[in-house]
Structure 1
Amino acid sequence: MPWIILKICCFTFLCLVIPVDVVAGKVDFNRDIRPILSRNCFHCHGPDATHREADLRLDIVQGLKTTDAAALIHPGQPSQSVLFERVSSKDPDLVMPPVDSGKKLKPAEIDLIRQWISEGAPWSQHWSYIKPQPVKTPTVKNQSWPVNWIDNFILSRLESENLQPAEEADKITLIRRLSFDLTGLPPTPADVKRFVDDTDPRAYEKLVDRLLASPHFGERMAIYWLDLVRFADTVGYHGDQDHHISPYRDYVIDAFNQNLPFDQFVREQLAGDLLPEPTLQQKIATGYNRVLQTSHEGGVQRKEYLAIYAADRIRNFSGVFMGATMGCCQCHDHKYDPYTIKDFYSMVAFFADIDEDQHLKRGADRIPTIREPEIFLYTDQEKEQLAELESRIKAIEIESKSAEQKEEKQQLKQQLEKLKKSREAINRSALKTMITVSIKPREIRVLPRGNWLDETGPVVQPAIPEFLGTLESDQDRPSRLDLANWLSDKEGYGPLMARVMANRFWYLFFGRGIAPVLDDFGGQGGPPHYPELLDQLAIKFLNDQWDMKQMVKFIVMSRAYRQSSIESTEQRTADPFNHWLNRQARFRLPAEMIRDNALAVSGLLVKEIGGPSVKPYQPEGYYRHLNFPKRKYVADTDESQWRRGLYVHWQRQFLHPMLKAFDAPSREECTAQRPRSNTPIAAMALLNDPTFVEASRKFAEDVLRNGGKSDSAKIEYAFSIATSRQPEKMESEVLLTLLDSNRTAFSQKPQAADALSHTGLAKTNSKLDLIELAAWTEVARALLNLNEVVTRN
């Protein structure tokens, strides 16, 4: 039976890995077995028919279990199943995976396969393609613990594992956690005192409501959304020139602040231009379709780059809205999921009407580059000036037609040229943004192997993936608006998109998703640790009419969210990765928030909402390799440099070094989950980046003026501003020692104190003693470097 040997060889080529949350009892196919098959088998025995080996497909039940006597698996009989025979073999010539593969199954992994077969080898469809179904809320023994049904699901699992949830975090930790999670900013001392002193049983809920109503809520949520849609201020490819897109960022901020229903949020971004009489904001929203990477090199091939843009768009669309990796289908059927190459290009066809290649006809190595279609966004004053200019231009043009004298015509011509120059000057200074304009759709063909030169593939029309059904449309050709409506339709993809987004909301407030891979709900992603809970959150999101603030409030109101993040040895041993959620997570703040926190603590932060991107200080010469055109980074010298990190100019090829040091993405692709590294470079950025040095100096000024008369009082004041709590005795002693050592050092080198105290980046009227200011600046630098200050607990 050589063909069976081939099947088993490919089936077990990579080692099997047991999920850490497998519990005693029955094996669950989706949780325990499917991930093993996907990682190790589907590449050769999955959905991709072109490259399938031995005519064996293991992602469907017919491939795993047949009535054939030579079937891989005989349910209930592991000893009669060829699969188990080969993976458990001791013969180096027979064991699978092969010895020379470098893979070897662990005994526990072999036992898992045996157990699954013994239990009848039950199969089920992939969990992410099954619509969420309501389930009964679990009952719990400790009925006083749950605040809402999230807690029932968590506590029920913990009780079944004989585990206890963590204690509720103290009030100071809770207000700091909520403030960072909901606004991205630390609480003020007054905020902390008000919450700590509030004995009202609803004090916590009142805090949640106040933070959700803050205009900074939209900024915090926008940071994440802009990662998803790969928002940046530059084109990415070749010269990485600037383009006009910042008003789209303002639209996102406003949408979260106004609690725009998520389905409408999606609809306006994908197809705002196709809505009946679209508003200006809905047109701006369509900037989503234009923020992909583009090339402005003079020699680019139009067809090649339109194919590149199409692939970029479908990678992002599927990752953001579907939690899918359809980009894998650009060249062939998906190796692990049921998407086909035809599905990929049928999805491309939805976007074939976007007028996006004008820059390929009139590309320019200029800053900013040409990315038409764009619209002007005039201020009220600019609108009045333009109206007056247009009226005068029109009048002079009429007068010119009737003028008879040559001298009179010349004078009118000069006046007309002057007025037009004034109009051009207003247009040059006015804010612009890229938008989507629908034109006649271009023909879309399947590109065999993704080859843009190969025109032998069939022409396709807009269509959703075949295994997900068909798309209803009132038009002969389905539009982007039809696609957007399908995404949020309760009878369409809506329940599945709700699950994807519910998982991301959870990630924002627990540090990781219920399903661990936020942008891949397919075979290569991981199964959810609390599948029933995730489904109920998705159903709630739908039933609440896609209310984003209500979803956020429901999660952060839960007792699970309020748990302490301090873990015991027992908790770490029983659940090292906190999959069962018997404690909260602690993690370093995102890059933008680290910067915002330092500016807020120091008093430098400018809290203005919206507007163009800003350029804070960065190392000299960092842009020296940027060409086409050659450019030099010019930092802002006014208060703009102290604005939130959300507004920092996002140069894809040369991201601001501070943001890069703290793992902010270049935003060339969808980033659903940022990495969290711990490097010396990050520590050096906190100490030496000019923004942090200036924040420390201004913080020191505040401490010297308002911290009290004694050093001890000043230390307590500074520490409480930075951490929202009073220092312990040991902490005070260490900081006082640091202060004294720096006083001594700066007394011996007063020129160093003078240099540190007069950097000139932030305005100051300081008449403070320079040595004292320099010494306290060093203390402030130490405080801003504390793990507690840059960590969300």
Structure 2
Amino acid sequence: MKPGRLLHLFACMLITACTPGLPEAVEEAYGQLPEKIDFNFHVRPILSDNCYACHGPDAKARKADLRLDLEETAFAALKNGPGYALVAGHPLQSDAIRRILTDDPETVMPPPESNMQLTPLQQATLVKWLEQGGEWKPHWSFIPPEKAPLPSVEHADRVQNPIDHFVLAELERAGRSFSERASRESLIRRVSLDLTGLPPRPSEVDAFLQDNAPGAFERVVDRLLASSKFGERWAWDWMDAARYADTNGFQGDPERKMWPWRDWVIRAFNENMPYDQFTVEQLAGDLLPDATTEQILATAFNRNHMYNGEGGRIPEETRVENVFDRVETTGAVWLGLTLNCSRCHDHKFDPITQKEYYQFFDYFNQTSEEGLNGGGRIPPVLDLSPPADRAKVEALQAFVEQLGDEVTTYESEIFPRETGPASESPAAADLNGDNVYALSYPPVKRSTYYLGLLIGHYRDRDPKYTEMLTELRTAMNDKNRQSAQNLQVMVMDELPEARPTFVLQRGSYDQPLEAVRRDVPEVLPALPDERTFDRLELARWLVDDKNPLTARVTVNRFWQTFFGQGLVKTPEDFGAQGAKPSHPALLDWLAVQFRESGWDIKALCKLMVMSATYQQTSKVDPELLEFDPNNELLGRGPRYRLPSWMLRDQALFLSGLLRDSIGGPPVKPYQPEGIWAEATFGQKRYQRDSGADLYRRTLYTFWRRIVGPTMLFDNSARQVCAVKPLLTNSPQHALTTLNEVAYVEAARVMAERVLAEQERGADPLEYAFRLATSRYPRAAEKKILLDRLHQFRQAFIDDPEAAGELMTVGEYRSETPPASVDQAAFAALCLMILNLDETLNKQ
């Protein structure tokens, strides 16, 4: 500590009461403050929200030459006046404190035109912080995580694993404790949905209820972790983060074949690939020594983004925007930082400069992708077709290049120039813009559209040139047709010679400023001394033990899935504007534990679900709800609406319709007519599948980028990276879960299933309820269900035609004709059960 700061700290130790002379409201708020003011959790949020926009990292936006996000500048002498903005130990000698306490509109901070004003509690916090010496810390997320000793707790009998020490200690500090353990029926349903995305079978519930030996719940967890459905469930969240879709997006929205990468992700989760390897292979698998086909396939992660191939689009603009997407997706997924804020200027809140953004950009700027329109097969691509089909494409490509060389040679005669493309020849001066644009690229880089324009222009002017261009276009079409038949996946590669990278003026592709070379932000640990300057180096740096962010960000997202919200509520932003962690010591302990486990994903999942914290009942009394409405102290179990994809999978599973198979091309289930046509000006028509493909998990549904699957009402649009789920619960959602074909069909097939159980001696009503909720209905509930069943039956007796219509919804047909009235009544009842609050929620 600096000597001057030490004297200030000694002086403030003599202070036993609030600094005199404060406004009355501030004095009153002072008494509500905690004993110790922590810079990261009490002070920095105030400065970030109210000061950093004008006095933060962005030099261009900075006012009065005052920077308050760095200790050395915040406590330095003012450059535009006498005194200091902040004086440790002496708040009222601090110009910043005087300005936040004054009523004078000419000097008050924040200024009136900002529409911001500090509350008395915030003002008192800053005053007390300076009284206590003004201790400064780096932002909490940039400090390497450490494993704190497990906190001691009064009720140690409630603890099941280390997680509980941290959570229970906070609860006891607040005079609370854990809620009681959830019922076994609730627990097995909760953990089955969390780990596999599907509810348990009645036989699995029975086995758990009958297992009274120690470790019964752990055996359930181990079985679920070993299930192939584990990979399917966790792949969904990763596909949202990876912005996965089966089309490019934008006008035309051409199809692409990226599903082999989706299957790679499922395999990786099922095989419990360590997360550091999972990271390296997706970001830089192509650069690994002797990279395998699977490792190259993994890099499709960073080709999942949208691709703008609209007519008239400038290829370099498209290419640069694609690099932006890769940079910002990497920042969100692994670093939890809003790097996009630095694309056009220094970050206004986090210590990341625009130059550092483009240094990071340089890692992703070396792929051979050129921004040219190529449908859903924009090179570089990995061809996963049989060898004979790959050979056909290679032969056709060789022929295209041969013809392209011939055209190039001829163009050197008819478009003479010393250097540069044919478009720079004086002979091209009289051509229109489209033809000049076409000639600015080598012949083999021109699209068939632009070749057609040149053919039209020169048809009567140069028959030889026309013939050569026509032959080249025909060869390209032949190659494109064969490529479209092949299974080609867009992947990453590295240019043999580095492409220069520049800081771009306000992010504009055509306004380069200074040249930069690959590096990482200075606020984070430096790269190794011996550097390779490639994506592989970056990927390994992300999962290095010295990196303070990756492990924290990752465990937070897993926690978010199990508990509904992360320990940090802003999983996409661990910076100054992000939320503070509710349990910082627990977050750090989990991050270090995850690394020490060898980045073991299944071990992390097991650790979380085996905690007493996770196994609490989700029931909440009014007092607890008032005390902790958002469950930030984790004094009760998680309860929230299942995502719409899981609701559909659940309905198919409960009916017995779900097709249990992994991987393969996407499928097209039920969808209202005209959706695609309306969104694509009639260019795309939806042709739904039939048979078993109608009943695959939602994970495998074809995803058109500009209009996603219509049965999903709460999912990301898959246009950009999304790491925070949209947990919604709107009455309009019932329009889907009560009326969408898949749900109605599932209900009527579920009715067949429960009525078949009647022949085995089961009560069909109880069985239907138990299928959906994993428990038997209580007497009052059963009476309500029976009354409703009688109402349905009478309604269908009165209107048998309606019964017939209900029993023919969807494609599925049973082998035996339905008993229309009874079966229709049970179908209506099953649809109601599928829409019970308890069925729609995880609790």
Structures share fold, TM-score greater than 0.5? yes
Q: Using the alignment, how far apart are the partners of 2:601 and 2:664 within structure 1?
A: 24
Q: CA 1:51–1:385 in structure 2 vs 1: closer, same or farther (change >3 Å)?
A: closer
Q: Using the alignment, how far apart are the partners of 1:721 and 1:752 within structure 2?
A: 26
Say whether residues 1:159 and 2:214 are aligned partners: no
Contact 1:172–1:192 (8 Å) recurs in 2: yes
> Which position in structure 2 is the counterpart of 1:11?
none
> Which position in structure 2 is the counterpart of 1:232?
245
The correspondence for 1:435, drawn from 475, 491, 495, is: 491
Q: CA 1:708–1:735 in structure 2 vs 1: closer, same or farther (change >3 Å)?
A: farther
> Which position in structure 2 is the counterpart of 1:397?
none
TM-score (norm: length of structure 1): 0.87
Q: CA 1:230–1:26 in structure 2 vs 1: closer, same or farther (change >3 Å)?
A: same
Tell me by how many angstroms 1:618 deviates.
Answer: 0.9
Q: Using the alignment, how far apart are the partners of 2:755 and 2:710 within structure 1?
A: 31
Contact 2:503–2:514 (8 Å) recurs in 1: yes
Q: CA 1:385–1:52 in structure 2 vs 1: closer, same or farther (change >3 Å)?
A: closer
The correspondence for 1:512, drawn from 547, 565, 590, is: 565
Tell me by how many angstroms 1:278 deviates.
Answer: 1.3
Say whether residues 1:346 and 2:389 are aligned partners: no
Q: Using the alignment, how far apart are the partners of 1:627 and 1:422 within structure 2?
A: 26
Contact 2:377–2:488 (8 Å) recurs in 1: no
Q: Using the alignment, how far apart are the partners of 1:683 and 1:74 within structure 2?
A: 59
> Which position in structure 2 is the counterpart of 1:672?
723
> Which position in structure 1 is the counterpart of 2:707?
654
> Which position in structure 1 is the counterpart of 2:315?
302
The correspondence for 2:591, drawn from 527, 531, 538, is: 538
Give the 3-state SS of the residue equivalent to 1:459 in structure 2.
Answer: strand
Tell me by how many angstroms 1:458 deviates.
Answer: 1.5
Tell me by how many angstroms 1:99 deviates.
Answer: 4.9
> Which position in structure 2 is the counterpart of 1:610?
663
The correspondence for 1:777, drawn from 816, 821, 827, is: 827
Contact 1:79–1:85 (8 Å) recurs in 2: yes
Say whether residues 1:697 and 2:752 are aligned partners: no
Give the 3-state SS of the residue equivalent to 1:433 in structure 2.
Answer: strand
Contact 2:268–2:278 (8 Å) recurs in 1: yes
Q: Using the alignment, how far apart are the partners of 2:33 and 2:777 within structure 1?
A: 43
Alpha-carbon displacement from aligned partner over 1:270-315 (angstroms, at most 9, x marks no partner):
1111111111211110101211111121211022112211211111
Give the 3-state SS of the residue equivalent to 1:348 in structure 2.
Answer: helix
Q: Using the alignment, how far apart are the partners of 2:147 and 2:703 within structure 1?
A: 43
> Which position in structure 2 is the counterpart of 1:25?
35
> Which position in structure 1 is the counterpart of 2:462?
none
Q: Using the alignment, how far apart are the partners of 1:615 and 1:352 within structure 2?
A: 35
Q: CA 1:694–1:63 in structure 2 vs 1: closer, same or farther (change >3 Å)?
A: same
Task: Point out the more displaced range, 286-295 or 617-626.
Answer: 617-626
Contact 1:57–1:63 (8 Å) recurs in 2: yes
Q: CA 1:50–1:553 in structure 2 vs 1: closer, same or farther (change >3 Å)?
A: same
Tell me by how many angstroms 1:585 deviates.
Answer: 1.6
Contact 2:378–2:490 (8 Å) recurs in 1: yes
The correspondence for 1:74, drawn from 78, 87, 93, is: 87
TM-score (norm: length of structure 2): 0.82
Structure 1 counterpart of 2:174, which letter? E
Q: Using the alignment, how far apart are the partners of 2:710 and 2:311 within structure 1?
A: 30
Task: Point out the more displaced range, 178-187 or 54-63.
Answer: 54-63
Alpha-carbon displacement from aligned partner over 1:303-335 (angstroms, at most 9, x marks no partner):
211221121111101111111111111111111
Q: Using the alignment, how far apart are the partners of 2:117 and 2:44 within structure 1?
A: 19
Say whether residues 1:370 and 2:370 are aligned partners: no
Tell me by how many angstroms 1:180 deviates.
Answer: 0.6
Tell me by how many angstroms 1:239 deviates.
Answer: 2.0
Task: Point out the more displaced range, 24-33 or 86-95.
Answer: 86-95
Say whether residues 1:148 and 2:161 are aligned partners: yes
Q: CA 1:601–1:93 in structure 2 vs 1: closer, same or farther (change >3 Å)?
A: same
Q: CA 1:728–1:168 in structure 2 vs 1: closer, same or farther (change >3 Å)?
A: same
Residue segments in structure 1 that go unaligned for 5+ positions in a row: 1-15, 392-420
Alpha-carbon displacement from aligned partner over 1:525-552 (angstroms, at most 9, x marks no partner):
0111111111111111111111111111
> Which position in structure 2 is the counterpart of 1:5?
none
Say whether residues 1:65 and 2:75 are aligned partners: yes
RMSD: 2.7
The correspondence for 1:591, drawn from 632, 644, 648, is: 644
> Which position in structure 1 is the counterpart of 2:544?
489
Tell me by how many angstroms 1:151 deviates.
Answer: 0.9
Q: Using the alignment, how far apart are the partners of 1:688 and 1:716 within structure 2?
A: 24
Q: Using the alignment, how far apart are the partners of 2:350 and 2:536 within structure 1?
A: 26
Tell me by how many angstroms 1:206 deviates.
Answer: 1.0
The correspondence for 2:784, drawn from 718, 734, 741, is: 734
The correspondence for 1:576, drawn from 624, 629, 646, is: 629
Q: Using the alignment, how far apart are the partners of 1:699 and 1:425 within structure 2?
A: 44
Contact 1:555–1:561 (8 Å) recurs in 2: yes
Contact 2:766–2:777 (8 Å) recurs in 1: yes
Give the 3-state SS of the residue equivalent to 1:559 in structure 2.
Answer: coil
Tell me by how many angstroms 1:95 deviates.
Answer: 4.7
> Which position in structure 1 is the counterpart of 2:228?
215
Tell me by how many angstroms 1:125 deviates.
Answer: 0.7
Contact 1:314–1:347 (8 Å) recurs in 2: yes
Structure 2 counterpart of 1:742, which letter? F
Q: CA 1:385–1:126 in structure 2 vs 1: closer, same or farther (change >3 Å)?
A: closer
Alpha-carbon displacement from aligned partner over 1:61-81 (angstroms, at most 9, x marks no partner):
123323666222333333443
The correspondence for 2:838, drawn from 770, 773, 788, is: 788
Contact 1:290–1:356 (8 Å) recurs in 2: no
Q: Using the alignment, how far apart are the partners of 2:364 and 2:109 within structure 1?
A: 46
Q: Using the alignment, how far apart are the partners of 1:386 and 1:343 within structure 2?
A: 41
Contact 1:57–1:64 (8 Å) recurs in 2: yes
Contact 1:231–1:291 (8 Å) recurs in 2: yes
Q: CA 1:340–1:94 in structure 2 vs 1: closer, same or farther (change >3 Å)?
A: closer
> Which position in structure 2 is the counterpart of 1:7?
none
Structure 1 counterpart of 2:507, which letter? G
Give the 3-state SS of the residue equivalent to 2:717 in structure 1.
Answer: coil
Q: Using the alignment, how far apart are the partners of 1:328 and 1:768 within structure 2?
A: 60
> Which position in structure 1 is the counterpart of 2:458?
none
Contact 1:239–1:629 (8 Å) recurs in 2: no
> Which position in structure 2 is the counterpart of 1:766?
816
Contact 1:331–1:448 (8 Å) recurs in 2: yes
Alpha-carbon displacement from aligned partner over 1:669-698 (angstroms, at most 9, x marks no partner):
111111222223211100011100110110
Alpha-carbon displacement from aligned partner over 1:211-235 (angstroms, at most 9, x marks no partner):
1111111111111111111111111
Residue segments in structure 2 that go unaligned for 5+ positions in a row: 1-25, 396-476
Q: CA 1:422–1:91 in structure 2 vs 1: closer, same or farther (change >3 Å)?
A: closer
Q: Using the alignment, how far apart are the partners of 1:389 and 1:632 within structure 2?
A: 28
> Which position in structure 2 is the counterpart of 1:449?
506
